[in-house]
Structure 1
Amino acid sequence: MPYKAPTAIMETVSAVGQGKTEITWNKVLVLGFLAGAYIAFGGFLAVIAAAGDPWPRELPGLQKLVFGAVFPVGLMLVVIGGAELFTGNCMYPTIACLNKRSSWRGLIKNWTGSYIGNFIGGIFVAYFLGIGTGLLLKEPWMSYITEIARAKCGFSFTQAFLRGVGCNWLVCLALWLASGSDDIIGKIFAIQFPIMAFVVLGFEHSVANMFFIPAGMFITNEISWRMFLLNNLLPVT
């Protein structure tokens, strides 16, 4: 598989970032919705695959490994399908601006559109495809998604913030590595392992949590929107 040197990757990332800042806000919003939905599909798949209690107690990381092994499909859909993911856009337009290829105003336009779109997309999948279909209203998936949502709202601000830093470091690294390949197989491999790593390690992804936590909230009233926004989404973002 051919790959690019880091200097060539920098040029590619900068060019991609420039293109992202030139998209109209309405288009960014729609592509952001798709990215939020794609990440939610990855999270949804991970919940279905890893729920239940067949995991040996002496291997507590095995369930996390299964969860992490399938979750990256979401970012693969984003990259190959061409959607706008806020966490990845923290890298692309920033590098373009630092290289003086884009304006900071264009960066803010991209960030706001992709973030709002991601939020709507994640909640859409959680409510209509997770709850509306009844797929997350059956055991063991119902208990598992509510357990995930509770845990994610139980961190201190500092813990959530640092887990968000670790996550986006690996997310941006995955996208950087994927930018070094010109073929789909290379991009898939570049995405798989860094994303699997952040999931298994227990880091927090703001866009994924736009699916996980609302899905749990739609099932139980133990988690409020205030808890979701202040305990998780704000520090993780």
Structure 2
Amino acid sequence: MAYLAPAEFVTKMIDAGESKLLMSTRDTLIRSYMAGAILALAAAFAVTVTVNTGNPLIGAILFPVGFCMLYLLGFDLLTGVFTLAPLAVLDKRPGATWRAVWRNWSLVFTGNFAGAITVALFMAIIFTNGFSEPPNGVGEKIGHIGEGRTVGYAAHGAAGMLTLFVRAVMCNWMVSTGVVAAMMSTTVSGKVIAMWMPIMVFFYMGFEHSIVNMYLFPSGLMLGGDFTFMDYMIWNEIPTVIGNLVGGLTFVGATLYSTHYKTGAKRKVG
């Protein structure tokens, strides 16, 4: 595959961040809505595969298909803009301000959530035959996921919150690595291969992804999961969003920017 050197793809990261800050409200919402919907569908697919095969690894291997689709279609996830948008501010690009960053993050969050909720409703209808009967095996599994990753964390108090936060940090370390990895190649096959690996890692390891959870937890509530919407927000979504921000910006965006774009001075020899 055609490979770009780090200095080249980090420049592409900054260019991408700038373009997202300058994008119209309409386009930002449409692209983030579709990203949330496609990733939600991929999550439903992966859970279905896991339940039907009894093997979580197979579900994790296949889950990245959704991420690859939405990236190649030019749609936006909150986890990706967490990493890319601030780089345009750091590089002092025209029109790139922290206010513009917050605007972008807010719009992308809204669009991702709306897209994920749409698919959550559609899949809940499928899993229950239009809410006319109890959920099938996949629907039951989604409900239990919601319980374990909300009240399950709450049962451990501060230790549970710390675990949730660290899982969210690790998640966007991997997901943003996938976003950046796609920029390393100029071919579709190269982009897909590069994206697939870190996305598979995050899903199999059970890390916390804010947009995947926008599907899993509302869907779990629709399917009878034994937790509340406030459990979801306090003991998952809000800490996950913060952890995703820290993970993507700290371990991917800032590190690559600082060492491949704003490199340190070379040592003097002799």
Q: Scaled by the length of structure 2, what TM-score is found?
A: 0.81
SS in 1 for 2:127: coil
Mapped partners of 1:135, 1:82: distance in 2: 33
Per-residue deviation, residues 49-105 of structure 1 (Å, max 9, x unmatched): 1114x64xxxxxxx2211211111221122101111100001111112111122222
Matched, 1:115 2:115: no
Corresponding letter in the other structure for 2:79? T
Deviation at 1:10, TM superposition (A): 0.6
Match of 2:56 in 1: 64
Matched, 1:30 2:34: no
Match of 1:143 in 2: 140
- C-alpha change, 1:41 and 1:133, in structure 2 (3 Å) is same
Corresponding letter in the other structure for 2:16? V
Mapped partners of 1:179, 1:109: distance in 2: 24
Aligned pairs for 1:1-237 (under 5 A) are 1-52=1-52, 55=54, 63-101=55-93, 102-128=96-122, 130-134=123-127, 138-153=135-150, 154-155=152-153, 156-220=160-224, 222-237=226-241
Mapped partners of 2:135, 2:191: distance in 1: 35
Mapped partners of 1:134, 1:164: distance in 2: 28
Deviation at 1:138, TM superposition (A): 4.7
Contact 2:124 / 2:139 at 8 angstroms: preserved in 1? no
- Provide structure 1 residue ranges, at least 5 long, that are not aligned to the other structure: 56-62
Contact 2:60 / 2:201 at 8 angstroms: preserved in 1? yes
Contact 2:140 / 2:223 at 8 angstroms: preserved in 1? no
SS in 2 for 1:51: helix
Deviation at 1:133, TM superposition (A): 2.8
Per-residue deviation, residues 153-183 of structure 1 (Å, max 9, x unmatched): 1222111111000000001111111111111
- C-alpha change, 1:19 and 1:121, in structure 2 (3 Å) is same
RMSD, aligned α-carbons: 1.5
Mapped partners of 1:36, 1:24: distance in 2: 18
Contact 1:25 / 1:109 at 8 angstroms: preserved in 2? no
Deviation at 1:135, TM superposition (A): 6.5
Report which stretch shifted further, 138-147 or 8-17: 138-147
Mapped partners of 1:182, 1:37: distance in 2: 26
- Provide structure 2 residue ranges, at least 5 long, that are not aligned to the other structure: 154-159, 242-270
Mapped partners of 2:62, 2:90: distance in 1: 34
Per-residue deviation, residues 167-209 of structure 1 (Å, max 9, x unmatched): 0000111111111111111111111110100111111101000
SS in 2 for 1:163: helix
Deviation at 1:46, TM superposition (A): 0.3
Q: Scaled by the length of structure 1, what TM-score is found?
A: 0.91
Mapped partners of 1:192, 1:143: distance in 2: 28
Report which stretch shifted further, 93-102 or 160-169: 93-102
Match of 1:60 in 2: none
**Percent identity of paired positions between Structure 1 and Structure 2:** 30
Per-residue deviation, residues 3-51 of structure 1 (Å, max 9, x unmatched): 1111101111111111100012232122111111011011011011111
Mapped partners of 1:135, 1:47: distance in 2: 16
Q: Which has the larger radius of gyration?
A: 2
